[in-house]
Structure 1
C-alpha cells in the first residue's frame, strides 16, 4: 500500500446513485465492498460524508432560513448518511466507529482526537459525522480538519467525475483532465476542488488531495496501490 492512513471524503449526493434524493442502498453497498477490499490490505481508513442528498444548508439559507440553523440541520443529515454507511460496512464484516462532532450518545461516540486515532490503530474504520460541529463550515472543511488531526497521509475525494478538469466535463466536452496539479495552480486557475477553507488547510499542512471517481469499482484500490488515476493536488 502506498499509504498507511487516509481520509476518504464522499459527497452526500454520491449516495443517491441514480435517485433524485435520499440513499441508494446498492450504491452504499458498493462503497462498503470497495472500502473493505482496501481495508483488508492493511490501510487505516477514516471517512467523512456530506449531507446534500438529504439537506443542504446553503440552499435553505437562500430560501430565507437562518444560516446557522440550516447548517446544523445539514450536520444532522451527515449523521444519517454516516449511519447508513456504517451499517453497510458492518454487513461486509468491518468493525466501525461513528464519531460525531455533535453529542448523540445513543447512536455515536463524541469526537475525541486521541480516541479516533486509537480506533484506527485497532483496525476499525472511523466515520466522522456532523461536520466540524460548527455552522459556516462545509464537510470539505471537516474532511481537511480531521485528516490533519489524525495525521492522514492524504485526503481522497471520491466524486462522480474522474479528476479535475480545465472546465466542468459534464458541460464542456472539450475539457482537459489534469493528472497532477499544484495548490498554487488550482488557486490561479480558479478550479473547483474543495472549498477554500478546506483547500488552504490541506496546503498549509502539506496534505495531498486526490480527486477520483469513486463510483467505478476498483478505483479506490488502485489509488491505495499507488496507481496514477484521478488528479493529484500537492506541492
Structure 2
C-alpha cells in the first residue's frame, strides 16, 4: 500500500469545531490561548505571534463570537479602562472526560506495547473497519476524499479544504492527548485514514499526515502533493 503518514493527525482543538474554517493567523491565536494556563492580553498575544495588536484584537473578538474563546476584564489598576483578558473556551464535560481517558490509554500503550506507534495505527485500522464496513467501495477518487474528510469532521476535526490535495486540520478532538502522546494518538488517526481509503477501494491514493505543520494546524495530504513553486 502506498499510504504513508508522518504520524500525528493532530491539533488544534480540544473543544468544538468552528462554524467556519479558521485562517492561519486566527488559528495561531487560538493555539496560543489553548497552550496557556492563564488568560492572556491582546498585547501579550501580539508579541508572541508577531501580529499587530489591532489584528489580534479582531481575531480574538471573532473567536469569542464563535464560542472558541471567552473574554473578561482584568482587575482595575489606576485610571483608565482595565485590560481585557482572553482564554480558550473549556471543552464540554463529556469531551474533557473522553480526552482524559484517551490520554491515559495512550500512556499505557506507550508503556506496555513493544511498538506503540504500530499499536496506535492498528487501532485506527480497526476503527475504520467498524465505521466503513467491508463493502464500502470501490468509489471514485473524489468520493473517497469527500467521505474521508466527512468522517474526520464527524469525529470533531475542523477540516479546512481548499480543494487541493492538502487540507488543513485546524481543530482536533483530542489535542491534549495528542500533545502528550502524539506517537500513539495520532497514529490512530493515520491508520484510520489509510484503512478508510483501502476500504473505499482507493488504496492507490497516498495519504500523509503532518503533525503541527503550521501554527494551529496539521496538514493532511490525500493524493500526490502539488509541486512546490519553482519545480513545475
TM-score normalized by structure 1? 0.27
Higher strand content, 1 or 2: 1
Larger radius of gyration: 2
TM-score normalized by structure 2? 0.27
Higher helix content, 1 or 2: 2
Higher relative contact order by CA 8 Å / sep ≥ 6: 1 or 2? 2
